[in-house]
Amino acid sequence: AQTVTQSQPEMSVQEAETVTLSCTYDTSESNYYLFWYKQPPSRQMILVIRQEAYKQQNATENRFSVNFQKAAKSFSLKISDSQLGDTAMYFCAFMRYSNYQLIWGAGTKLIIKP
């Protein structure tokens, strides 16, 4: 069975700093997707970034980038130039190709301080 682990329950950084959120996962499958979702206090789940396992190049979306280490089963999220609006819960999630269902980490609460 797949598992996803986020080892940082809470992090806080100053505005404009760079922060890295950690995620590790366990699977025997070779093809899958990995995601980072953001959940602000509004409760809405918002896609931050996605990575396909067969792609070696790390995904980037503006200030957000990942460090995907397939052999180590690690998928960390780096947020550059952090902004107050980045304050939220961040969830790492694994999606199987077979049924497109998500397995989630427990989340990291990120607080950006002014």
Residues that bind another protein (CB under 8 A): 4, 6, 9, 33, 35, 43-45, 47, 50, 52, 55, 91, 93, 95, 99-107
Question: What's the CA gap between 17 and 29, in Å, rounded?
Answer: 36
Q: What is the 3-state secondary structure (H, E, C) of 43-85?
A: CCCEEEEEEECCCCCCCEECCEEEEEECCCCEEEEEECCCCHH
Q: Nearest distance from residue 26's CB to another protein, in Å?
A: 14
Q: Give the three-class secondary structure for 86.
A: helix
Rounded to a whole number of angstroms, the minimum distance from the CB of residue 12 to another protein is 18
The residue among 18 and 101 lying less far from another protein, judged by its C-beta, is 101
Give me the least distance between CB of 16 and another protein, in Å please.
29
> Whole-number minimum distance, CB 60 to another protein, in Å?
15
**Closer of 48 and 112 to another protein (Cβ):** 48
Spatial distance between the Cα atoms of 12 and 86, rounded to a whole number of angstroms? 11
Which of 11, 103 has the CB closer to another protein? 103
Q: Is the dihedral of CA 63, 65, 81, 36 positive or negative?
A: positive
Residue 38 in tokens: 């953001």
Output 50 or 78, the one with its CB closest to another protein. 50
